[in-house]
Structure 1
Amino acid sequence: STPYENEFGDWFPETLFNGQEVGGPTLYKNHLSDFTYFLTLKGVESDDAYKKKGIENIKKYPLKYLRNWFTNQGRLWFNFPQTGFSHTERGLLRFVPNAILLTFFMLSLYLWGLNFRKCPLEINFLALFILAYLALSSLISALPRQLTISVPILLFWISYIQFRSTKVEISFEN
């Protein structure tokens, strides 16, 4: 729920603020006072303080929170953007397969929207479940591992929708 520009709502554990400037000096400067306070608390008190600060930021900066949620979706699918980190060629290895998966997911959502009344209840349940999971799991922060566990369900659902909704015909006529 960070309100600061050039920060994307990604999660940084409190250990990063325990004397280290991980994520760059700006991140450290913007959040040091909050984390100094959070480090004095233990257990439920610490969790309550995090929640209070998060809700306060969301109420004060709702549009920034919406932008952070959007960037959380980017991190969920592509591990991009990340506050204070540059990206390497390794990120491209995730980009291509996830871009293909996201493209088929979006196409399947469209086709499902046109034909959801014709789909079995189980398929509609899977669609609603996966949509809720992907949307709600990214409200706070998101990482690719959260997408990874949903890939089997996504592939099954996408396959069902594509095979039932699309027809490909190859013709070699002159």
Structure 2
Amino acid sequence: MLHGFFSPPPPDINLWSGPGYSIALIPFAVLNLPYIYYALLNAVFYYLAVVFLYKALVKITQPMLAKLSAILLALYHNVYYLLPAIYTEIFTMFLVSLFIYSLTIYYALGKKNYLIITGIVIGFLALTKVIFGYVIVIAFFSCFLFFISGRGKKFRKASLTILLISMLVTLPYLLYTYKLVKKPFYWGNAGGMSLYWMSATSELEYGDWKVPNLTNSLNPNPFKTTEGDSMLKANHSAQITRILSYHGVTQDSLFKQAAIRNIKAHPKKFIRNYYYNVSRLLFDFPYSYSYQITQTIQNIIIGSFILWASVAAGIVSIINRRKIIYPVKFALLIFAIYFLLSGMLSAYARMFDVVVPILLFWMAYTFGQIPAINLRFTQPD
């Protein structure tokens, strides 16, 4: 980007991620700082994610619940595996918390400049993790349908404004990709390969992504094993070799075509793979051709806590749906669309981790609305 381009020219385009995180790191690149500073910056982003979640919650719920939620996010163990890595996840979590904060401040204070900030943040989310680009579009049409029905007109209008601003933020990137590949609304060329692995038809493959050279030596590190390599090659070698002989957009399209053929031929297996993806999002398990490890127990305990806490909060939210405030509803809409779309590709726990602030935000508000239960024994009159 310092040299004026984000991807090599066709046919060797490289759009496996959006430019958002790269833009955030530009000052470090300009100063030619060692890579250790890029990783250390994750600690700052993580700290700010905790702070913004707390600052948002104190506006809408009890201070004790706000503190507890912030502490839970600060102690969320999955993040500590990502802190040393120069990945987009920590920065994405920071943007998610900032989105929650600006949306809540707009609701609490009615300042329209925070409406604009919220749109910019969501747009930058899409530039960082391109799946949010699709989230924006689906959320826009969802809010539009609610808006024209006449219910909650003020906040439906606010939602549409936020999402329109986010689209404008992403427009320069989409114009760049259109100039590069001559396709409208083109976010990246990694989705085809991810969808291909998600559509894997072998009973011993669960939709997790594998490297193009068909070895199972892939993160997460504890699951590494090469014992499944021969089966991977037997199942995929001919097709993968043919597709990898192409480049860029053509390669991405061929992967998508192969995935669609797999889905049409084995729809039930695709549904099972979707189920496995959701399991990996929550529990970081299962992985194809992989060993069992003790870390899985830890992941299942934490994932189960999140799952059942969400179920409890969901029941309370459904019963009291008319009392849920606007920022919680809108944040939940973004979460729901993102979560459902994530299951369509090769999903991992780190893809779920980035939206944990939304769950904590929702739960803290929801449980804060439950009247206090008096357990003190009193004598009858």
**Fold shared, TM-score > 0.5 on shorter chain:** yes
Q: Match of 1:80?
A: 285
- Superposed displacement of residue 145, structure 1: 0.5
CA deviation map 1:20-68 (0-9, x unaligned): x946022321111111112211111111111111111112221111111
Q: How does 1:118-129 map to 2 (within 5 A)?
A: 118-129=323-334
Once residues 57 and 167 of structure 1 are traced to their aligned partners in structure 2, the CA distance between those partners, rounded to angstroms, is 53
Using structure 1 for the length normalisation, give the TM-score: 0.88
3-state SS of paired residue (2:359): helix
Structure 1 residues 166 and 34, CA gap change in structure 2 (3 angstroms): farther
Checking the alignment, whether the CA contact within 8 Å between 1:79 and 1:91 is kept in structure 2 is: yes
- Structure 2, gaps ≥5 residues long: 1-198, 216-224
Once residues 85 and 66 of structure 1 are traced to their aligned partners in structure 2, the CA distance between those partners, rounded to angstroms, is 21
Once residues 168 and 31 of structure 1 are traced to their aligned partners in structure 2, the CA distance between those partners, rounded to angstroms, is 58
Structure 1 residues 41 and 23, CA gap change in structure 2 (3 angstroms): farther
Aligned residues: 171
* Residue 10 (1) aligns with residue 208 (2): yes
Q: How does 1:1-174 map to 2 (within 5 A)?
A: 1-16=199-214, 22=226, 24=228, 25-165=230-370, 167-172=372-377
Once residues 265 and 359 of structure 2 are traced to their aligned partners in structure 1, the CA distance between those partners, rounded to angstroms, is 35
Once residues 139 and 109 of structure 1 are traced to their aligned partners in structure 2, the CA distance between those partners, rounded to angstroms, is 23
Once residues 116 and 73 of structure 1 are traced to their aligned partners in structure 2, the CA distance between those partners, rounded to angstroms, is 25
Structure 1 residues 141 and 168, CA gap change in structure 2 (3 angstroms): farther
| Percent identity of paired positions between Structure 1 and Structure 2 | 30
Structure 1 residues 129 and 167, CA gap change in structure 2 (3 angstroms): farther
Larger Rg: 2
Structure 1 residues 27 and 108, CA gap change in structure 2 (3 angstroms): same
Instruction: Tell me which of the two structures has the higher relative contact order, counting C-alpha pairs closer than 8 angstroms and 6 or more residues apart.
Output: 1
- Structure 1, gaps ≥5 residues long: none
Once residues 172 and 58 of structure 1 are traced to their aligned partners in structure 2, the CA distance between those partners, rounded to angstroms, is 60
3-state SS of paired residue (1:69): helix
Aligned partner of 2:258: which letter? K
CA deviation map 1:77-97 (0-9, x unaligned): 111111110121122222222
